[in-house]
Amino acid sequence: MNKVSVGLLQLSASESPEENFEKTLSSIKEAAENGAQIICTQELFKTKYFCQVENWDYFRFAEPVNENSQTIKELSKIAKDKRVVIIASLFEKRAEGIYHNTVAVVDADGKYLGKYRKMHIPDDPQFYEKFYFTPGDLGYKVFETRYAKIGTLICWDQWFPEAARLTAMKGAEIIFYPTAIGWLPEEKETEGETQYSAWETVQRGHAVANGCYIASVNRVGFEKSPDGETGIQFWGQSFICDPMGRIIKKASSNREEILIDEIDLSAIDKTRTVWPFFRDRRIETYSELTKRWLED
């Protein structure tokens, strides 16, 4: 099949993981009833973005991520009932003292296909993820679902062209980016538009460079920092862009939305034929990319 309908769940979060989970399950059902076939959550959808501070108490939010875990069982039931693929961003407890920022993928028959662990972990003001997450060790992943071959990267991964390239090289037709990104109040007036533009532009560039679809889903709303000092204004604006980098649908900046759009996978072959970037790669010249920096 060439055409597939993608659904992105752009939601806000409350203090209750249970409430957030139920809202997301309801939104998955609503998206499915409105025609979505592949549905993706925002990053860490079960909780507020707790990484604004370093607090050992928040490790309690982590859970196992496997076919026997309760969350996966509930997602699998809905996926099977509604015949949809679900991409869910979760806080994974792998073992005592080892935690990951993880995406789980469930196919349209309810089968758990596996997971991807976030590779690039930020450590910036209000984004203290290195305190919580061990860098991923599963490599870049592509999952062959009923409707499409999908790649799953997560938030900070979206700034790295190498991650998108390797995911596309493994066959991804659509790369999904569950995301939690926004403005710090003190930066919004002077840097806000520039920051947002950079975020959107780099992802559209990944679509162009790799001739594939990009689907980026962000959370929305203001979340006060747990320490009461400041907070993050998540900018929403989840979007889908085509292999030419054109945005074909985008959500608002200030409200919850279920963004749904149909895409034509045959556009990938057409685009890559006209712009044969993979054909013209000079792979024998790229060995230095494995180095941290090149000295004079």
DSSP-assigned letters across all residues of 136-148: P-S-S-EEE-SS-
Annotated active-site residue 149? The verdict is: no
3-state secondary structure of 95: strand
* 43 given a catalytic annotation: yes
Write down the catalytic residue from 23, 48, 93, 118.
118
- In sequence order, what DSSP letters do the residues of 143-163 get, joined into one string? EE-SS-EEEE--GGGGG-HHH
174 beta partners: 150, 213
In angstroms, the CA 43 to CA 9 distance is: 10
241 is catalytic: no
Residues 6 or more apart whose Cβ sits within 8 Å of residue 254: 220, 221, 236
Q: Which two tokens stand for residue 76?
A: 């699998």
Active-site pick, 23, 40, 43, 115 = 43
Q: Catalytic residue among 48, 51, 82, 155, which?
A: 155
- The four Cα atoms 77, 78, 81, 87 give a dihedral, to 10 degrees, of -110
CB 271 within 8 A of CB 211: yes
Active site residues: 43, 118, 155
